Amino acid sequence: MATFFRNALAYSGAGVIGQVCKVLQELVLRRLLPPGVLGIWNFAGVVQGFAGTFDAGTLVGAYRETALLEGAGRKEEALATRSTAFWSNLLQNAIIVLAIGGYVALFQARAPIEKLAGLAAGSFLIFSCGLIDAMTLFHQASQQYVSLSRTVVSSSILTSLVLPIGAYFGGAAGLLAAGLLGSAVQALLLLTSARIQGLGIRRYWRLSILRRLVSYGLPFRLADYPLNLFSVIDGMFVARYLGFEQLALYSTAKIIVSQSADFPARLGGVFASKLFNQLGGGRSRADLADSLLRFLAVSYMVVIPMIVLGVSCVVPLLFVHVLPNYTRTLPTLSILMFSIYFVPNTSVVRNFWLADSRLFGVAAINAVSLVGLLILGALILWGRGMSLSSVAFSVVGGYAWFFTCLMATIGREVWGWRKTLSVIASVAVSSLYVGLVLHWLTTQPEHASALVGAKVLALNLCKGVVLLSPLMLVGLWRARVLPHVRAAVTR
C-alpha cells in the first residue's frame, strides 16, 4: 500500500504540474491567436488521434505482458518484449504516415494550405506521440512512476514555454513548428529516462514475440476501436460540419476536460498497473476487487467532485477577464465536465477482463456503447439542432451509457449485483449532487472588475466545499482510507 501511495502521489503530482502548465499554455495561445488560426493546430491533433485508431496493438500487448512478467520477476523476457514492441510500433507508424501521404497526393492535392499544414503536422505527431506512448507504457508496466513523473514535469514546463513563443513570433506557422519541436523533445526525454531506469531498447526483434503481442493486442485494438472512436468522433464531426473556428472553441473545452480528468486517470493508471503486477504475482482477485471498490469510492465521491467544482469556478473568471473571445466555450465546458465520471480511465474495472484476455466481451461492450452514442447523438442533434452544446450532451450521454454497460457486465462479475448497484448509485448521486451545487453558486459577472470576479470565485469555492463536504465524508468512510493514510505518514 505504501508503494501505491508513493507512486500515486508522484504521478498525480506530476499530472497536476503538467495540467497547470498546459492550462497556462492554452490561455496564452488563445490570447495570442484567434480561434480560426488555432484551429489548424487542433486539426493536427485530430489527424494524429484518428490515425491512432489504426494501431495493431503491439504496445497494448507489451504493456500487459511486461507488467505480468515484471510481477513474476522475469526481467530478460520483459526486455525482449519491450524491444520487439518498440520496433514494431515504429514500423507501423511509418506505414500509416505513408498512407496519409498517398491520400493527400490522390485526393487532397488542391486542398487549402491550412488543411495541408494540419495534415503534415499530424503526420509528424504520429511518430513523436508513438514514441511518447511507448516509453510511457514501459515506465508504467515496470512501476517506474517516480522517474516518469520527473520527465512529465520537465516536458510539461518545456512545451508550455515553447508553444507560446512560437505562436508569438511566427503565428500559425510558428505554433506548428514549436508544437512539433516540443513533442520531439518530450519523446527524447522519455527515451533517456527509460535508458537510465534500465528500460532501454535493444536492437532486438523476434517474430514469435510479435505474434504473441499481436494475438492479444490486435483483438484488443479491434475490440477497443469503438471506444477509441468515441474520443475522436466528436472533433471530426465539429471539424466537418461546424468549421475550424467552432473546432477551436470545442477543442478548448475538451482540452480543459482532458486536463481535469488527468488526475483521476493517473490514479486509475497506477491502480491498473498494480492490478496487473499483483495478478502476475498471484494475489487474490477478491482482495483486488475490494481494493478497487474502495479506490472508486474516493475517486467518485471526493476527487472528481472537487475537480469539477474547482474547474467550474475558476475557468469562467479566467475566460471573462483573460480570454473574452472564448467565453462561448463555457456552456459546452459546463456539460462536458461531467463526462469525467464515466470515462474508462477513471473506472478501471475493465482491467480485470483485459488481464484475462476476455476481449470478445470487451468488444461487445464497446460496440454496444458506440451504437448507443450514435443513436443518442442523432436524437439530440435532431431535437436541439446543430450546435456545440448538442455535441457535448451526446458525448456525456454516450459515456454514461458506456459506464452503465461496463458495470452491468464486468462490475457485476467482479463484485456481484449489490456492490455494483452501489457503485452506479454513488456515481449517479455524486454527479447529480455536484450539478445541483454548481447551479446554486453565483454566476461569474461578465462586466465586473477582476477584483469583484475574484471575490465571487472565493465565495463560490468556500460555499462549494462546504456543500460537498457531506458527500466527501461519505466517500472517505466507504473507502476506509484514513487508516492507510496514517500508516503511510508514520512510515
Q: What does the domain layout of the chain look like in residue ranges?
A: 1-218, 284-491
Nearest to 470 by CA among 439, 436, 444: 436
Q: What is the spatial distance between Cα 84 and Cα 206, in angstroms, rounded to a whole number?
A: 6
DSSP state of 281: T
Residue with cell 457503485: 423
Distance of CA 478 to the CA centre of its chain: 26
3-class DSSP assignment, residue 209 = helix
Nearest to 316 by CA among 297, 333, 292: 333
Residue with cell 455524486: 430
- Asked if 253 and 393 count as a contact pair (C-beta separation under 8 A), the reply is no
pTM for the complete prediction? 0.66
Q: What is the spatial distance between Cα 40 and Cα 118, in angstroms, rounded to a whole number?
A: 6
- Asked if 484 and 1 count as a contact pair (C-beta separation under 8 A), the reply is yes
Per-residue confidence in pLDDT tens, the chain, 491 aa: 556 666 666 776 777 787 778 778 877 887 888 777 777 888 888 888 877 777 778 888 888 888 777 777 788 888 888 889 899 989 989 998 898 888 888 877 777 887 888 888 889 999 888 899 889 888 888 778 788 888 888 888 888 889 899 988 888 889 889 989 989 999 999 988 888 888 878 888 888 888 888 887 787 777 777 677 767 788 878 877 887 778 878 888 888 888 788 778 777 777 777 777 777 666 777 888 888 888 888 889 999 999 999 988 888 888 877 777 778 888 899 899 999 988 776 667 887 887 777 778 888 888 887 788 788 888 888 888 888 888 899 889 888 888 888 898 888 988 889 999 998 999 999 999 999 999 888 676 666 677 887 888 888 889 999 999 999 988 888 887 666 555 555 55
Q: What is the spatial distance between Cα 293 and Cα 219, in angstroms, rounded to a whole number?
A: 28
Query: How many residues does the structure list for the chain?
Result: 491
- Asked if 140 and 199 count as a contact pair (C-beta separation under 8 A), the reply is no
Q: What is the spatial distance between Cα 377 and Cα 374, in angstroms, rounded to a whole number?
A: 5
Q: Specify burial of residue 333 (Cβ count, 10 A radius: 0-12, 13-18, 19+).
A: buried
Secondary structure element (H or E) that encloses residue 195, with its range: helix 145-196
- Asked if 234 and 178 count as a contact pair (C-beta separation under 8 A), the reply is no
- Dihedral of CA atoms 330, 333, 337, 342 in degrees, nearest 10, equals 160
